[in-house]
């Protein structure tokens, strides 16, 4: 009876699995603050993507982790054809064709030596919005050439969706979709991700990410992204921002995604591994709540585990 009348259902095909491909590894390396998640070699990346697909996950979101020696002030390895992320995309597209939707992170922070999501002014104090847009446009085109189905600008620069859309269209990539990180908060819940990508960041991103105190501002950000041609809008993190998901879902004509981030995963894993909460029940409850709030897709490190349970 409960199943019959359930208002919300989470399906494996709603889930998007974020994965990390790193240069300089002999074998995959577990991310200590994200137990069960790995920085991958090319072989282990392909194997893990096969496991995800076998479990019923149909979309992965790929992040690249370059060698420190490949980082520079503008993050140029992000758009280099042979940069780690573009090599990863190319290999996955060759392996999976259109069976797996490949989404790529379109942001500079993994590739800059200062760890910010954009290029800095001469005093290295301020992220320059418009100069950064040029880099995102180059990066999106490089990712499209490598075979990504979706680009996902996560840097919260103003005008990033329009800049990327016109650059992709000009190169003939009219079918490559944009998942816009529309309401991305300057959040402490991103902590473990910094380890996952070997971030060089000192300081914070409060000059370009949303203030956790604000929701109206996020409605505007989502509307702007929709007007600029976003194919999805996304809220991140998820659980502490379900009101934002809900408010955006009320008016968005495009799908609304939510990203259950590294810190959310880490907290549930830690409590589960300590026996303080039931790991599997907490995982499914968290995903159900995110969908109930109005998310159509959920990016989550639990994607494969949850998909197996949902079968």
Selected from 33, 143, 160, 262, the binder of ligand PBG by CB under 6 A is 262
Enter the tokens of residue 116.
């910010």
Residue 95 or 186 having the CB closest to ligand PBG: 186
| Residue 109 touching ligand PBG (CB under 6 A) | yes
- Candidates 133, 114, 113, 137; CA nearest to 125 is 114
- Tell me if residue 124 is catalytic: no
**What does the alpha-carbon distance between residue 279 and residue 309 come to, in Å, rounded to a whole number?**
12
Q: Name the minimum Å distance from CB 190 to ligand PBG.
A: 4
Q: Name the minimum Å distance from CB 247 to ligand PBG.
A: 21
Measured in whole angstroms, the distance separating CA 153 from the mean position of its chain's CA atoms is 9
- Cβ contact 242:189 at 8 Å: no
**What does the alpha-carbon distance between residue 125 and residue 105 come to, in Å, rounded to a whole number?**
24
Selected from 261, 295, 306, 307, the binder of ligand PBG by CB under 6 A is 261
- Cβ contact 88:21 at 8 Å: yes
**What does the alpha-carbon distance between residue 181 and residue 117 come to, in Å, rounded to a whole number?**
13
Selected from 14, 23, 70, 105, the binder of ligand PBG by CB under 6 A is 105
Q: Is 221 annotated as a binding residue?
A: yes
| Residue 149 touching ligand PBG (CB under 6 A) | no
Residue 172 or 205 having the CB closest to ligand PBG: 205
Enter the tokens of residue 53.
């697909």
Residue 7 or 35 having the CB closest to ligand PBG: 35
DSSP helix/strand/coil, 129: helix
Q: Is 166 annotated as a binding residue?
A: no
Sign of CA dihedral 218, 223, 225, 230: positive
Catalytic residue (one of 28, 46, 124, 184)? 184
| Residue 107 touching ligand PBG (CB under 6 A) | yes
Q: Would you tell me which residues interact with ligand PBG (CB under 6 A)?
A: 105, 107, 109, 117, 154, 190, 193, 205, 261-262
Q: Which residues are annotated as a binding site?
A: 194, 205, 221, 262, 301
């Amino acid at each position: 009876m409960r199943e019959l009348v359930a208002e919300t259902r989470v399906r494996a095909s709603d889930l998007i699995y974020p994965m990390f491909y790193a240069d300089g590894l002999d074998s995959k390396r577990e991310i200590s603050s994200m137990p069960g998640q790995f920085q991958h070699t090319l072989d282990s990346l392909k194997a893990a993507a096969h496991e995800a697909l076998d479990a019923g996950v149909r979309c992965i979101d790929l992040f690249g982790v370059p060698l420190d020696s490949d980082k520079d002030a503008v993050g140029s390895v992000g758009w280099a054809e042979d940069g780690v992320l573009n090599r990863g995309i190319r290999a996955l597209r060759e392996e999976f064709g259109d069976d797996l939707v490949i989404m790529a992170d379109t942001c500079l922070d993994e590739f800059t030596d200062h760890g910010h999501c954009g290029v800095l002014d001469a005093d290295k104090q301020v992220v320059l919005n418009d100069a950064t847009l040029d880099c995102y446009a180059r990066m999106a085109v490089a990712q499209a050439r490598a075979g990504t189905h979706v680009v996902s600008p996560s840097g919260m620069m103003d005008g990033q969706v329009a800049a990327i859309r016109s650059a992709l269209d000009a190169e003939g990539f009219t079918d490559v979709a944009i998942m816009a990180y529309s309401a991305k908060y300057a959040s402490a819940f991103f902590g473990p991700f910094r380890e996952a990508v070997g971030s060089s960041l000192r300081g914070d991103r409060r000059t370009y990410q949303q203030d956790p105190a604000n929701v109206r501002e996020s409605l505007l950000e989502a509307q702007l992204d929709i007007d600029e041609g976003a194919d999805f809008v996304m809220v991140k993190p998820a659980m502490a921002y379900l009101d934002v998901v809900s408010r955006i879902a009320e008016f968005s004509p495009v799908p609304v995604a939510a990203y259950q981030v590294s810190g959310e995963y880490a907290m549930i894993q830690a409590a589960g591994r300590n026996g303080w909460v039931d790991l599997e029940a907490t995982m499914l409850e968290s995903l159900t709540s995110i969908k109930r709030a109005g998310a159509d897709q959920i990016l989550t490190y639990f994607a494969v585990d949850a998909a197996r349970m949902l079968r």
